[in-house]
Amino acid sequence: MRIRTKLLWTLGSISLIPPIAAYVSLINNPRISFALLMNEYEARQGIAAEQLQSDLRAISSAVEESLSETYRIQVEPKQRKDAERQRRLANSAVQSGVAAFERDLGTITQSTAQQSKEILAVGEPPDAVDQRETQLLTELRELFPDLKSSAEKFAKLSDGDSSAEGEFVQEVFEPEVGEKLGRIVQELASEADRGAEEDRRNIELALKHSYRQSILVVLFGLAVSAVLAAVISRAVIGPIHKLRDAALQLGHGKMDTRIVLQSKDELGELAGSFNLMADDLAKLLKERGQAQDELSGAHERLKNSMGELESRNREAGALSEMADLLQSCFTLEEASGVIASSAQKLFHGFSGALLVFSASRNILEATTTWGPSSPAERVFGPNDCWALRRGSLHHSASDEGAVRCSHFGASSRLPSLCTPLMAHGETLGVLCLVTEPIGSAGPQTSISEFNAKLAVSVAEQAALSFANLKLREKLRYQSVRDPLTGLFNRRYLDESLEREIPNAIRKNRSLGVVMIDVDRFKNFNDMFGHDAGDTVLRELGDYLAKFIRRGDLACRYGGEEFTLILPESSLEDTRRRAEELRISVHQLSIKHRDIVLGKVTLSLGVAVLPDHGTTAVELLAAADGALLRAKKEGRDRVLIAEVSPNRPR
């Protein structure tokens, strides 16, 4: 046999055996077939999970549209017919969405069951992803009757124009669809993606295993070719052996393999071409590896960025919702409750407390706390908190050398954060956060910079809200209080009478009114100055505030005149109380700048409902008339208003 023929046989063996063996090993590899089948099941389940999410969104959208049409019926009665038609369509869409959800749930359940049969058929145990998917589907099937029942109840409430429709959606339907089912379906989709990713990795492993088998077959073919080429002259086969050995080394990853052959024939040219190919291949593989590393890093960074972005969006939404709710609060307790609720959403894994200064500003008191690891002290001094000392955020890590606020307790080593509540240049309190232990692994060792910035934002919102509430309370106080005496003013008196008189008439009860005037008040001003007169009015105001009963009302009517409102007080009781006041005022010793101003006497006029009037104007006029008579008859006395002969009895 000629050398050319032998070479052709050898080259034919080398060329045909490896691809045939590789093809057979790839086609008949059961691991690849099984991984491909599992990947197909996971892809179907992922699509079905996304369809379940779409069904939930469609149900929520239809419910919102139905509520919108109900609202349109209430505010635009002329469009009631069209709104009712649209609402029926929306309610029908809700039922259709529930039916679609049930259908898609059945599809994914059937796919999962078939996948489990395939896994058991090959003797493989179900992995953690398959078990979790089965568990989630079981939870969905258990929750579906509640969804269906809620949808039917919503349709009944909506079609029946029930006022409880909105409350049912907010308290029952939305938590069930948006939180329970939505969370489970989202986790199911994530588990399907995770299973698909694991199946793709299994395919890659099976392919790598098949590649190794193919390489072994190639080596076997090369050995056969070596036997066939042994009969050829060493001068012809030697260079081919070198070329073969270099190719094998290059195939095994030795990218620095080169052929040293000084021949000037075709084999020498082939060796030179091989060396050029090896150089290009090494360069290409190096660039490919770098590109893969960069792509993997970019993909991981993108995943982390997307997760962080979603988290930031949720936190921004919660922060915006807290700001809106704080604007609607009327009391410090309401605002504290809103902040505690929002803080639990914003700071997962944290306990905390919100503390404000007392009126004396020497202690801080907790208005609300949350979490199992909330600060140990609910009342402490400002010097116990480093954030209040520094006037800025203070972060304590878990290490031994950390500077820690004493109000967290001497034994606490949990990372903590304190942020002062400052608004309009005033420190109102402090927001305290502390991490919670997480199982046997313990708590985190420090608090992230983002959580610190978020705590500052929450503290700023809380401080502005508290400052606005204090300002609102101050303005309300100023609008109804007399600044000199601290008693209620004329405006509050008129408002109170408008409320108390109808209430007394409705309950068939009496209401006493006493008009009071300081006798010869002008003498105090003339003899001691207007500051002394203000002192007299201030002391008398303090005395009246202590003299009245709980439920009575003392007001400054104007100038040196005062008014008492005594609910459920008869004429005799009112006169007796007025007389007691007149006598007790004699005992007052009022000083101004260490000068005793002299005895204060009062003239008082008494009127009661209904004897002297049934309106505020009539009662005040009657009591004022009695007061004028008391002053004309010599002052320092109590007189009862005269009953008009024309008044019905």
Residue labelled with tokens 């007399």: 482
Reported as a pLDDT band with limits 50, 70 and 90, residue 440 is very low
The DSSP call for residue 171 is: I
The pLDDT value given to residue 571: 92
Least confident of 227-236, 390-399, 481-490: 227-236
Reported as a pLDDT band with limits 50, 70 and 90, residue 229 is low
The pLDDT value given to residue 564: 93
Report whether pLDDT(437) > 50.
yes
Copy the structure tokens of residue 219: 């080596």
pTM for this predicted structure: 0.39
Least confident of 27-31, 314-318, 405-409, 546-550: 27-31
CA distance 574 to 612: 13
Which segment, 114-123, 184-193, 416-425, 613-622, is predicted with the most confidence on average? 613-622
Q: What is the mean pLDDT of residues 166-175?
A: 71
The mean pLDDT of the chain is 79
Report whether pLDDT(230) > 70.
no
Q: Is the pLDDT higher at 262 or at 628?
A: 628
Q: Is the pLDDT higher at 542 or at 397?
A: 542
CA distance 286 to 175: 53
Among 270, 95, 60, residue whose Cα is nearest residue 175: 60
Q: Is the pLDDT higher at 260 or at 438?
A: 260
Among 112, 164, 151, 162, residue whose Cα is nearest residue 135: 112
The pLDDT value given to residue 638: 92
Report whether pLDDT(442) > 70.
no
CA distance 515 to 520: 16
Q: Is the pLDDT higher at 638 or at 465?
A: 638
Among 577, 644, 645, 580, residue whose Cα is nearest residue 606: 577
CA distance 348 to 195: 28
The pLDDT value given to residue 53: 79
Report whether pLDDT(3) > 50.
no
The pLDDT value given to residue 1: 45
The pLDDT value given to residue 441: 46
Among 486, 479, 478, 549, residue whose Cα is nearest residue 514: 549
CA distance 633 to 629: 6
Among 197, 188, 447, 202, residue whose Cα is nearest residue 303: 197
Q: What is the mean pLDDT of residues 120-134?
A: 75
Reported as a pLDDT band with limits 50, 70 and 90, residue 7 is low
The pLDDT value given to residue 26: 56
Q: Using one digit for the tens of pLDDT, what is the confidence trace for 251-287?
A: 777 777 777 766 666 767 777 787 888 888 888 888 8
Among 341, 336, 307, 306, residue whose Cα is nearest residue 321: 341
Reported as a pLDDT band with limits 50, 70 and 90, residue 16 is low
The DSSP call for residue 376 is: S
The pLDDT value given to residue 9: 62
Report whether pLDDT(430) > 80.
yes
Q: What is the mean pLDDT of residues 90-105?
A: 82
Least confident of 14-23, 430-439, 629-638: 14-23
Least confident of 271-275, 311-315, 459-463: 311-315
SS3 percent helix, strand, coil of the chain, rounded to 5, is 65, 10, 20
